[in-house]
Amino acid sequence: MAIDLEQQWFRGLTELRFAATPKRIRALLDGQTVLDTRDALLVYEPRRVVPWYAVPPGDLNMNVTGHDPSPVPELRAPVLPPHHNEWHTVPGRSLHLEGHGEVAFRPDEPELRGRVVLHWDPFEWLEEDEPVMGHPHDPFKRIDVLRSNRHVRVEVGGVTVAESARPMMLIETSLPCGGTCRARTSGWTCSRPPSTAPFARTRVSRPTSALTAPPTWRGSTPTRCMTRAPSRTWSASGAPLRCMSTELP
């Protein structure tokens, strides 16, 4: 049966929807960090088009108090107006911060595991080390390349070929989070193999055996992805790549 994607989107609009994110999320208030988490969810409340971040209470550094949420008036429009973040269409508790009113909401939804949904204001937001304006980025409609302070190291056959404490995090729709950094190519035998496919992706896997000699560093094969500009890939003969970072999701 064929699926009308527009109609499918509107059918889901009345449901509480959520999606995991691999990003490190931080929020600041008056210059102080009040949230630092790598366990956030993107949550779309029913009748809302834009998601908000839902985070574990243990990652919050704020003294909030619980209140009954504001009543939602009857509306003819299929979506809630964007300037009434205090209106909620699922049961839960409104969380207030002194001097700011409601700043978060805890839905009564077991699958969110007690996470609280934060308002965008009055906070300043960072995804990895990049400021974010307006609202969280929709992960299903974009690619993000974010400056980060995670430690990333990549080995080939026990030899470190790339390492950085300031990588760029590549976050693509429905693909594993990756890190990019400058490769260490000194002392490697380099060659340029012919391109065999118009589209290519690299995979990270664990080497199956130790090498008796350094692998051959081959590269720079031109590739093209339908969602980004032309690029080049590098590969190593004799051993697959191994990602050594413990900080990548």
Q: Which contacts qualify for 223-227: CB closer than 8 Å, 24 or more apart?
A: 223/195, 223/197, 223/198, 223/199, 224/198, 224/199, 225/199, 225/201, 226/199, 227/143, 227/172, 227/173
Tell me how far apart the alpha carbons of residues 76 and 79 are, in angstroms, rounded to a whole number. Answer: 9
Query: Is the model's pLDDT at 30 over the cut of 50?
Result: yes
How do residues 58-116 score in pLDDT, each as one tens digit?
Answer: 999 999 999 999 999 988 888 888 888 899 999 999 999 999 999 999 999 999 999 99
What is residue 177's predicted lDDT score, i.e. its pLDDT? Answer: 63
Structural contact between residues 50 and 58, judged by C-beta atoms closer than 8 angstroms: no
Give, in order, the Cα–Cα distances in Å from 222 to each of 69, 79, 143, 168, 228: 55, 45, 20, 21, 13
Report residue 72 as tokens: 């939602």
Mean pLDDT score of the chain: 75
pLDDT band at 170 (very low <50, low <70, confident <90, very high): confident
Domain boundaries, given as residue ranges, for the chain: 5-134, 152-243
Query: Is the model's pLDDT at 212 over the cut of 50?
Result: no
Give the mean pLDDT of 216-244: 49
How do residues 177-192 score in pLDDT, each as one tens digit?
Answer: 665 555 444 344 433 4
Q: Considering the entire predicted model, what is its pTM? A: 0.63
What is residue 216's predicted lDDT score, i.e. its pLDDT? Answer: 45
Regarding predicted confidence, which is higher, 162 or 44? 44
Q: List the one residue out of 176, 152, 162 whose CA is nearest residue 236.
A: 162
Could you tell me the fold of the domain covering 5-134?
A: 2.170.150
What is residue 45's predicted lDDT score, i.e. its pLDDT? Answer: 94
Structural contact between residues 221 and 232, judged by C-beta atoms closer than 8 angstroms: yes
